[in-house]
Amino acid sequence: METPETDNTWKVKTLLIGAALGALAGLGAAYLLTKRAEQSGQQLAITPGKGVKLGVLIAGLLRSILSLGED
């Protein structure tokens, strides 16, 4: 029989893997943005409109991830 401690290990593993993947994805996105800005010779500038678009895209991605467990 599983103890409460071992029962929660899957939660901790899931959170740690999710945090690591999120950090790597964010680092990759920041790298690509700065590289593009350097290539164009301009400073990186994200307008409020672009920020809203990005927020909506991220919200949609999170909704898609949440729907994975509904099968």
Count the neighbouring beta carbons within 10 Å of the beta carbon of residue 37: 13
pLDDT tens figures, 7-65: 889 999 999 999 999 999 999 999 999 999 999 998 888 899 999 999 999 999 999 98
- Three-state SS letters, the chain: CCCHHHHCHHHHHHHHHHHHHHHHHHHHHHHHHHHHHHHHCCCCCCCHHHHHHHHHHHHHHHHHHHHHHHC
Q: So what's the pLDDT on residue 31?
A: 95
Distance CA 32, CA 28 (A): 6
Among 49, 42, 57, 54, which Cα is nearest to 34's? Answer: 42
- Report the pLDDT value the prediction gives residue 44, as an integer from 0 to 100: 85
